[in-house]
Homo-oligomer: A and B are copies of this chain.
Amino acid sequence: MAGDNKGKVIGIDLGGTNIKAAAVTNEGKLVTKLEWATEAEQGVGHVVQRLQSIARAVASEAGWIWSDVAGIGIGIPGFLDFQAGVVERAVNIGWEQVPILDIMQRELGVPVYFDNDANAAAIGEAWVGGGRGFRHVVAVTIGTGIGGGILIDGQIYRGANGMAGEFGHMVMDWGHGHVCNCGQTGCLETIASATAMLRSARQAVERGETTALASYDTESLTTRLVIDEARNGDAVAGRIVRHAMETLGMALSYIGNALNPERIVIGGGVSKAGDVLFSPILTGFQQGALSRVQEACKIVPAELGNDAGVLGAAKLAVR
C-alpha cells in the first residue's frame, strides 16, 4: 500500500547502552524491531545519525517504503523541553541542549515526537499492555531506580516542567535510610528498586545472616536471584523482598488516594515474578488506600516487557 501512511509509525527507545526501534501499526501491533548499540561515547552527532539510520533500517525490515511512514516517536532518558522540542539534559548519553526534533524532522522528512523514557513505557503499557482499555492508568517501573508515568483520560500527564510521575523520590523513610541520587535520603527507590533489594541482600550476607543468598559470591548475586530465593522460602530473602514491596505498596496508596486510577501497572525486569512481589505490594497498598480507591483500582504486572518503550514511543506518532 504505497502512499498509505495512515497505519505506519516507528517507535525508538534511546537508552544509555542500546537503541531499540520498532515498526508499529496504528493499532499497536509490533511488526518488527531492531536493537543497536548506542555508542554514546562517540558524541551527540554520531548518536543522532544512528537514530536516523535505525529508523530507516527498521522501516525497511518491515517492508515499508519510507514515504509510507506517518511519523516517529522517541523515548529519551532525560529532561525535555516540550515547547522547544529540545533535550535539555540526558546524563546517561551525555546530551545537553540538543534540538533533536528539528534535526530529525529535517533529515527524515516526517513528523518526530518525543517523551522521556519512563513516560514512553507508561504510554506503551496503557496503550496495548497491562493498562489497555482504561482511561486513568499509573505505570511504575522497578529497575535501577523507580520510574513512573501517569495517564489521565488516555493522555500522558507531564506536569509543570515534565516531572510528573517521579514516584521514586517520594520519601518513605524520613530522616533515615540511604542517600538517593537525587540528594534526598530515604526515597522510595532507595528501598524498593531492584538495586536497593540487591544491596539489602549483599548487606545481609556480609552481616553473616543464615541465608541461601550466602551461597552466591557477591558479584554474581542479582535481584532476580534474591527474588527466586524468596520464592523458594529463604527467610532472609523473603524479608528483604517483602519489606521493599510493602513499602512500594504504601507509596502506591499515596498515589491511589491522590489520583484514584483504574490500573496501576508494575513493570521492570522483575515484574514477572508474580505473587512474591505482588502479594506484599497489595498488603502495603491496602494499609493506606481508601476502600473506594481500592475498589476502583487493580494493581497488575506490565505485559510488554522490553517492548513497552518502543511501543509507547510509537504511540506518540499516532494521530
Contacts and interface: CB of A to CB of B under 8 A. Distances in A.
Interface stretch (A96-104, A105-113, A168-176, A214-222): A168-176
B261 A167 contact: no
User: How many copies of this protein are present in the complex?
Assistant: 2
Given A152-B157, A171-B287, A287-B171, A163 B79 contact: no
Contact of A259 (B258, B260, B296): B258
Contacts of A262: 160
- The size class of the interface chain A forms with chain B is 35 or more
A286 to B, nearest CB: 10
A136 interface: yes
B288 A163 contact: no
B136 A160 contact: yes
B290 A182 contact: yes
Interface stretch (A125-133, A232-240, A248-256, A271-279): A248-256
A166 interface: yes
Nearest to A257: B166
B287 A163 contact: no
Contact of A165 (B164, B254, B258, B295): B258
Given A158-B260, A260-B158, A163 B253 contact: no
